[in-house]
């Protein structure tokens, strides 16, 4: 991690906010999210919605790269979001790039009155329940342009980490200090996508993956 990013992580931790994952991964996790979007064709004029943007681990890179008015973030943990905006963006960058934020926690995406080209949900489906994932897919259908891409990371269900069937978010959030992650069966995700005219595929390129989560790419079937 660069010295400036390390100082930013210090400043975020001093404010008692989550970094979005282990500190050692803070820089890498941000860069890999940016690389995943670029790998899947994102241009600087794309409208990007970062769902559960946290303390802007990826968001600060996206705000810098994208054209003004193109970055949108949803984060219900107000302290985490405020800290990220102040520490990683700052007033000048906010004024120049005009990012837009929402603190909604129902996974709705219509509050911006926008359509989006790319959706990013890193380390969100590794905590979200099936009803919450379905709400995100519905949000995608309601707000996306036809050629849009939804990139999300998840833990594939295995014998050791079985398919999660609860209705609640698992892990830290604006409502919980409990750690935890969950896994989903790709066949269930495929069915949920198919029911909405979408198709899902795993995006396993080494250049964009890190850790045990795998990227999924969701797009319209036709
Ligand atoms: C593991 S962190 C990942 C943060 C970010 N995507 C990143 O990679 O740095 C999960 C994030 O989801 C947020 N979150 C929890 N419940 C949410 C909800 N209902 N809607 C949107 N985000 C939520 C948490 O506050 C937290 O910032």
HSE, CB side, 13 Å, CA atoms: give it for residue 172: 12
Is the beta carbon of 52 within 6 A of some atom in ligand 1?
yes
Which residue from 59, 40, 57 is spatially nearest to 118, judged by alpha carbons?
Answer: 40
Between 117 and 212, the higher pLDDT residue: 117
Close Cβ partners of 191 (under 8 Å, ≥ 6 residues apart): none
Question: What mean pLDDT, rounded, does the chain reach?
Answer: 95
Between CA 93 and CA 107 the distance in angstroms is 27
**Model confidence pLDDT, tens digit, residues 136-187:** 999 999 999 999 999 999 999 999 999 999 999 998 888 888 889 999 999 9
Ranges of beta strands (E only) in 29-172 are 48-51, 71-74, 100-102, 116-121, 144-154
Indicate the SS3 state at residue 11: helix
Assess whether the C-beta atom of 47 lies below 6 angstroms from ligand 1. no
Q: Does position 1 have pLDDT exceeding 80, yes or no?
A: no
Query: What is the CA(54)–ligand 1 centre distance, in A?
Result: 5
Q: What is the pLDDT of residue 155?
A: 97
Question: Is residue 21's pLDDT more than 90?
Answer: no
Query: Which CATH fold would you assign to the domain 3-220?
Result: Rossmann fold (3.40.50)
Q: Pairing state of beta strands 48-51 and 71-74?
A: parallel
Ligand 1: nearest atom to the Cα of 50: 6
Q: What spacing in Å lies between the alpha carbon of 123 and ligand 1's midpoint? A: 7
Question: Could you tell me where the beta strands, DSSP code E, fall in 107-221?
Answer: 116-121, 144-154, 198-203, 214-220
Q: Is 59 in the pocket of ligand 1 (CB under 6 A)?
A: no
Where do the domains of the chain lie?
Answer: 3-220
- The answer, yes or no, to whether any atom of ligand 1 lies below 6 A from the CB of 173, is yes
**83 sits in which H/E element:** helix 78-84
Residue 210 has a pLDDT of 84
CB 75 within 8 A of CB 121: no
pLDDT, one tens digit per residue, over 47-73 is: 999 999 999 999 999 999 999 999 999
């Amino acid at each position: 991690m660069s010295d400036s990013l390390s100082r930013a992580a210090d400043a975020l931790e001093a404010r008692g906010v989550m970094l979005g994952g282990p500190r050692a991964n803070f820089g890498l996790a941000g860069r890999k999210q940016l690389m995943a979007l670029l790998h899947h064709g994102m241009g600087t004029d794309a409208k990007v919605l970062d769902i559960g943007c946290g303390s802007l681990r990826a968001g600060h890179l996206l705000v810098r790269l994208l054209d003004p008015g193109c970055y949108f973030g949803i984060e219900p943990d107000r302290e985490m979001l405020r800290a990220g905006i102040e520490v990683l963006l700052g007033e000048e960058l906010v004024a120049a790039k005009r990012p837009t934020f929402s603190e909604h926690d129902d996974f709705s995406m219509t509050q911006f009155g926008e359509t989006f080209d790319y959706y990013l949900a890193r380390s969100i489906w590794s905590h979200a329940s099936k009803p919450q994932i379905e709400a995100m897919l519905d949000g995608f259908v309601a707000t996306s342009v036809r050629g849009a891409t939804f990139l999300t990371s998840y833990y594939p269900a295995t014998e050791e980490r079985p398919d999660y069937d609860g209705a609640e978010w698992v892990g830290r959030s604006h409502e919980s200090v409990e750690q935890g992650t969950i896994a989903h069966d790709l066949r269930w995700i495929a069915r949920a996508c198919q029911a909405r005219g979408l198709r899902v595929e795993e995006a396993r390129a080494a250049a964009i993956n890190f850790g045990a989560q795998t990227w999924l790419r969701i797009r319209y079937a036709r």
